[in-house]
Chain A
Amino acid sequence: MTQPLLKIENLHARVEDKEILKGIDLTLDHGQVHAIMGPNGSGKSTLANVLAGRPGYQVTEGKVWYRGRDLLAMAPEERAREGVFLAFQYPVEVPGVSNIYFLKAALNAIRKHRGEAEVDAMDFIALVKDKMKLMDMDEQFLYRAINEGFSGGEKKRNEILQMLVLEPTLCILDEIDSGLDIDALKVVARGIEALRSPQRSFLMVTHYQRLLDYVRPDVVHVFAAGRIVKSGGPELAKELEAKGYGWIESHPEAQAS
């Protein structure tokens, strides 16, 4: 039996005094795309942040295995170097640091971890420009400070650009589709699709079914009150779209909290 890429077992987590995740079990195999849906406050984004190691998110119970290793024991940068990537719901502005410098520093940190040489400056520029084309981004974004003054859509595209350059193994996308118009959504989806491979897996947190029209998931999980109350195929997303989240919130699992 091959090892899954990610295995989450009975994960409980709290933020400050509030317990948000109340026993999540989830197995993500290599090459799979899982969508996580659910109403606001159900714990979707919390899971994404716990997996990336955000400070202040305290795991109180359970385990997360990433390629057979204890993910929760790893520092955030170590997770990133091992191939975990979180596309932020709200990408952070970093004044004074250009996108290109940042991308290069990140790529080199990851390459160094893998025992590879630093990327050649010319190769790097060529690589980034190629990926930018795919994301419909003007080259001037390279020389602007990270996310500073970017529109919501530009920030999200920039997240996917980083993902394309860093080529992670586990891509966690936290509401990558929020605030995007349909054209931007298509571009973002194109970036995600370009990365799909049998070795790479995706965990896509989304509030809406819309994104899933462009990036077809293998499995859809529905979160409510910190638990997975239902899992199924892509048709489950359609069902949610049609019925809304009301019926989920009245689900016995959700009410058990």
Chain B
Amino acid sequence: MSLPAEILEPYRLRSASLADNDPVWLAGLRHRAMACFAERGFPSPRAEDWKYTNVTAIERKRFPLAAAPGEVDAAWVKARLLPDCWHLVLIDGYVHHDLSHPALAGDVVFCDMGAALRRHADLLTQGFGQAVDEDHGFIDFNTALFHGGALIYLKAGTRLAQPIQILHLQTQEAIAPTRHLIVLEGGSEATVIESFIGRAGGLTAHVTEAVLDREARLRHFKIQEEHDRAVHFGGFYVQQATGARCRQVHFALGGLLARSEIHHRLGRGGEAILEGLHWADGRRHLDSHIRLIHAEPEGASRETYKAIAEQRGRSVFQGRIVVEPGAQKTDAVMNNRNLLLSDDAEIDSKPQLEIYADDVQCTHGVTVGQLDENALFYLETRGIDREAARQLLLYGFVNECIEAVDVEPLRAYLHRRLDSRFNAIELEDLP
């Protein structure tokens, strides 16, 4: 559905002014994207993929574009940066240079989007738009309006010595359109952590694309813990060449309405290991839209998505595996385990397998249930009361996901977050 002219106009103006300073190829993309967005607006709930997540509220909110980054206390932000990582900090979509130390020399490029456009246009043109396999209003919107973001590029065979963390901080009830491009040449390896936090309920419209060449390896973590009134769209689109591997772990813990798209296209012998957790408490609506395309033979994928829906929370999981003709010997497993903990909470789970090859192994499983009565009783027989036992099982459900995070500082951070949430039962770090 198209938006009223008075809402569209500032978007048009901003997009045009961005395009004025862009290289020609990007200006062209912006122009086309803006035209598409003007035509169709944000996705309608009538579209099958958006059936469970209605974003029409964005229109009513009339979010302005963030004109400038909000004021931040550097110490406060620093406390939220993980140790032993390289950092890029984006405040309301604008790069914060003093808090960002992206300079990496030699075979690695890690810089903000502005610097990338000035100095690495060749790298951008190689990968930009290549991995995005989705076509809807949020993508248009992002392409037309992104300004901040990061470029991460690794030359063949390079290994990043420590993870990159990109922190997105929202300080205003405004729109922050950001875009990252990750290009990993053959055999290179990188770990990228994207953190989304906020102290105001704005709109995040984010896209990360990753192009992995042969045998490249990407570990990617997304931690979404935005403000309780924030609206979040974040797409992660990955194209994997022969033998390329990607592991992604996604924690959706914040926001009011958050939609994540995680799309992978696997090459021959490629691997995608995807995990995720939704914690839909309060009135939170969390949607993960996963699409895994096995385009060539001998690929393997593992998906383990878990969700908690409590109070009036709602969790949506749409997981689609497509095995294209010729993608023989595909080995795909998709699991979605849900805890539905209140009468007012809702879980929507929609696994789909589309298989066009005959020699494949694909399975999926979905469970929706309450906490295990048998386990509750077991804990009670050890003197733990029922409410504490419930909390302990919930803790275990979440902790299983955290234990799967193999980046130590991030795992420690998530543990601290979990512990503070369960302070009622006095969790602490044990040796």
Chain A residues near B126 (CB, 8 Å)?
none
Are B380 and A92 closer than 8 Å at their CB atoms? no
B279 to chain A, nearest CB (A): 14
User: Does A67 lie at the interface of the complex (its beta carbon under 8 Å from any beta carbon of B)?
Assistant: no
Tell me which of B375, B383, B384 contacts A92 (CB under 8 A).
B375
B302 to chain A, nearest CB (A): 17
B412 to chain A, nearest CB (A): 15
A166-B397 contact in complex given A94-B378, A101-B430, A102-B392, C-beta closer than 8 Å: no
Alpha-carbon separation in the docked complex, A255 to B70 (Å): 84
User: Does B379 lie at the interface of the complex (its beta carbon under 8 Å from any beta carbon of A)?
Assistant: yes
Q: Which residues in window 105-148 of A have CB below 8 A to B?
A: 105-106, 109-110, 113, 121, 125, 145
Are B400 and A95 closer than 8 Å at their CB atoms? yes
Alpha-carbon separation in the docked complex, A189 to B379 (Å): 24
Q: Which residues in window 393-431 of B have CB below 8 A to A?
A: 393, 395-400, 403, 425, 427-428, 430-431
B379 to chain A, nearest CB (A): 7
Over the window 9-37 of chain A, the binary record of Cβ atoms lying under 8 Å from chain B Cβ atoms (1 yes, 0 no) is: 00000000000000000000000000000
Are A166 and B382 closer than 8 Å at their CB atoms? yes
Over the window 362-378 of chain B, the binary record of Cβ atoms lying under 8 Å from chain A Cβ atoms (1 yes, 0 no) is: 00000000001111011
User: Does A162 lie at the interface of the complex (its beta carbon under 8 Å from any beta carbon of B)?
Assistant: yes
Alpha-carbon separation in the docked complex, A105 to B373 (Å): 19
A interface SS class: helix
Alpha-carbon separation in the docked complex, A162 to B383 (Å): 12
Q: Which of A98, A104, A105 has the most CB of B within 10 A?
A: A105
Q: Which chain B residue lies CB-closest to A87?
A: B381
Chain A residues near B428 (CB, 8 Å)?
121
Chain B residues near A125 (CB, 8 Å)?
430-431
Are B399 and A113 closer than 8 Å at their CB atoms? no
A97-B384 contact in complex given A55-B377, A76-B377, A125-B431, C-beta closer than 8 Å: no
Are A109 and B377 closer than 8 Å at their CB atoms? no
User: Does B118 lie at the interface of the complex (its beta carbon under 8 Å from any beta carbon of A)?
Assistant: no
Size bracket of the A interface: 35 or more
Q: Which chain A residue lies CB-closest to B391?
A: A105
A256 to chain B, nearest CB (A): 33
Are B393 and A97 closer than 8 Å at their CB atoms? yes
User: Does A96 lie at the interface of the complex (its beta carbon under 8 Å from any beta carbon of B)?
Assistant: yes
B421 to chain A, nearest CB (A): 14
Size bracket of the B interface: 20 to 34
Alpha-carbon separation in the docked complex, A101 to B393 (Å): 12
Are B395 and A97 closer than 8 Å at their CB atoms? yes
Are B383 and A86 closer than 8 Å at their CB atoms? no
Q: Which residues in window 61-115 of B have CB below 8 A to A?
A: none
Alpha-carbon separation in the docked complex, A106 to B380 (Å): 9
Q: Which residues in window 200-254 of A have CB below 8 A to B?
A: none
Are B399 and A75 closer than 8 Å at their CB atoms? no
Mark the stretch among A38-46, A77-85, A177-185 that contacts chain B: A77-85
Alpha-carbon separation in the docked complex, A96 to B402 (Å): 9
Over the window 142-163 of chain A, the binary record of Cβ atoms lying under 8 Å from chain B Cβ atoms (1 yes, 0 no) is: 0001000000000000000010
Are B383 and A94 closer than 8 Å at their CB atoms? no
Tell me which of B378, B380, B430 contacts A75 (CB under 8 A).
B380
Chain A residues near B427 (CB, 8 Å)?
101
Chain B residues near A176 (CB, 8 Å)?
none
B339 to chain A, nearest CB (A): 12
A112 to chain B, nearest CB (A): 9
Chain B residues near A105 (CB, 8 Å)?
384, 388, 392, 425
Are A95 and B383 closer than 8 Å at their CB atoms? no
Are B380 and A80 closer than 8 Å at their CB atoms? yes
Q: Which chain B residue lies CB-closest to A54?
A: B377
A57 to chain B, nearest CB (A): 11
Tell me which of A86, A93, A104, A145 contacts B381 (CB under 8 A).
A86
Chain B residues near A85 (CB, 8 Å)?
381-382
Alpha-carbon separation in the docked complex, A93 to B396 (Å): 11
Alpha-carbon separation in the docked complex, A81 to B388 (Å): 14
A155 to chain B, nearest CB (A): 11
User: Does A88 lie at the interface of the complex (its beta carbon under 8 Å from any beta carbon of B)?
Assistant: yes
User: Does A188 lie at the interface of the complex (its beta carbon under 8 Å from any beta carbon of B)?
Assistant: no
Q: Which of A76, A95, A100 has the most CB of B within 10 A?
A: A76
User: Does A52 lie at the interface of the complex (its beta carbon under 8 Å from any beta carbon of B)?
Assistant: yes
A236 to chain B, nearest CB (A): 29
A52-B396 contact in complex given A77-B386, A101-B430, C-beta closer than 8 Å: no
Tell me which of B378, B382, B383, B425 contacts A113 (CB under 8 A).
B383
Alpha-carbon separation in the docked complex, A95 to B394 (Å): 10
User: Does A62 lie at the interface of the complex (its beta carbon under 8 Å from any beta carbon of B)?
Assistant: no
Alpha-carbon separation in the docked complex, A125 to B384 (Å): 20
Alpha-carbon separation in the docked complex, A145 to B425 (Å): 18
B178 to chain A, nearest CB (A): 33
Chain B residues near A79 (CB, 8 Å)?
381
Are B382 and A106 closer than 8 Å at their CB atoms? yes
Alpha-carbon separation in the docked complex, A104 to B384 (Å): 10
Alpha-carbon separation in the docked complex, A31 to B281 (Å): 50
Tell me which of B374, B378, B388, B397 contacts A96 (CB under 8 A).
B397
Are B378 and A109 closer than 8 Å at their CB atoms? no
Are B378 and A80 closer than 8 Å at their CB atoms? no
Chain B residues near A145 (CB, 8 Å)?
396, 400
Chain A residues near B374 (CB, 8 Å)?
92
Q: Which chain B residue lies CB-closest to A110?
A: B383
Are B377 and A106 closer than 8 Å at their CB atoms? no
Are B396 and A95 closer than 8 Å at their CB atoms? yes
Interface residues of A (CB under 8 A from B): 52-55, 75-77, 79-81, 85-86, 88, 91-98, 100-102, 104-106, 109-110, 113, 121, 125, 145, 162, 166
Sorted from nearest, which 3 A-B pairs have the closest CB atoms?
A: A96-B396, A106-B382, A96-B400
The 22 listed contacts between A and B (C-beta, < 8 Å) are: A55-B373, A77-B380, A77-B384, A77-B389, A81-B383, A92-B372, A92-B378, A93-B375, A94-B375, A94-B393, A95-B397, A95-B400, A96-B395, A96-B400, A96-B403, A100-B430, A102-B379, A104-B430, A106-B379, A109-B382, A145-B396, A166-B383
Question: Knowing that A86-B381, A92-B377, A97-B396 are A-B contacts, what are 5 other residue pairs whose CB atoms are under 8 Å apart, sorted by A's residue number?
Answer: A53-B380, A81-B383, A97-B395, A101-B427, A106-B379
